Every structure is written in structure tokens, then in C-alpha cells.
Structure 1
Amino acid sequence: MVDDISHEGLRVLLRDEGVSFQRIKTWKTSKDPDYATKKARVEHLYAIADGEVIPELGEPAIVFCLDEFGPLNLMALGRARRQAQRP
């Protein structure tokens, strides 16, 4: 883990791992009419978790964040690492 990395340092690290930057081809947006309200609530909970906001009465003092995004296909990266480890 690093605190700071330059663009060039990141590029070299990714290249060494066989990963490259890719341009975004599509942009996904929510069609949920309550999206803005829900987003504001999540951002407020993050602020509580980060200690940026003191929770008010009835708000949680401890926040758990669970990612429901789902599994990512990291096979290509895994293969690159296994190949790099072979003699």
C-alpha cells in the first residue's frame, strides 16, 4: 500500500502486471427517482464513518459498508501473476 503515487509510477506498475488503462465506452446512471436522496444518505454515512460528521441523535455511531457490486472477473490479472511466478 502506498500513500501517494505518480501517474508514471502507476502506469509502470500496471504495465508490469499486464494491465492497461482503458477508455470508458459507456456511462451507467441510475433511473431510480430516489437516487439523489439515497446517494446523499450514503455520503452522510461515509462522513460519519470518517469522523467528518458527528452523528446526531438516532444516527449510527458505527457504520458498516458492504459492497454488493458482485464478483469481478480478474482472470487475466491472475494469469499474469501466475505466469510471472513461473521459472
Structure 2
Amino acid sequence: MSEDIEAVRQKYEKQIQQITKRAEEDREAMHNKHMEQIDKLKAQYDEMIEQIGKKHEKMMSILMSELEEEKKRNNELMQLMQEF
């Protein structure tokens, strides 16, 4: 009788170990999947920041060019006003 109980105990103990091992493997796989998703999102974020930086530089270049043109016009206007 006690041998039967021991056999059943060992059987369930083995099943518990297998379930625990599978659960740990599943947890690790899910963790790795989430880390991959985080890496992809970080790469997308970095790309977006880079694109925003490029657009900002371009806009600043255009604005600086327009400012220089406005300065030239103002200087020309001042010279004309001084002539009169």
C-alpha cells in the first residue's frame, strides 16, 4: 500500500516539475518577445526623433535664409531713406 502511495506521489511530483519547467520556459519566451517588441519600438522612436531633427534643421535653414533676405531689404531701405 505504501508503495502505491509513493508511486502516485512520484508521478505527481514529476508532473509538477514538468509543468513548472514549461511555465518557466513560457515565461522566458514571453519575456524575450516583449524585449524584442521594446527594441523595435525604441528603434522606431529613434528614427522618428532623427527625422524630426532633420526637418527642424531644414526649417531653421529656410528661416535663416528668409531672415538674411529681410535684413538685406531693410538695409537697402535704410540706404534709400538716407539718400533722401
**Normalised-by-shorter TM-score class:** under 0.3
TM-score of the pair, normalised by structure 1: 0.22
Q: Give the TM-score, by structure 2 length.
A: 0.23
Structure with the higher helix share, 1 or 2:
2
Question: Which structure carries more relative contact order (alpha carbon 8 Å, separation 6+)?
Answer: 1
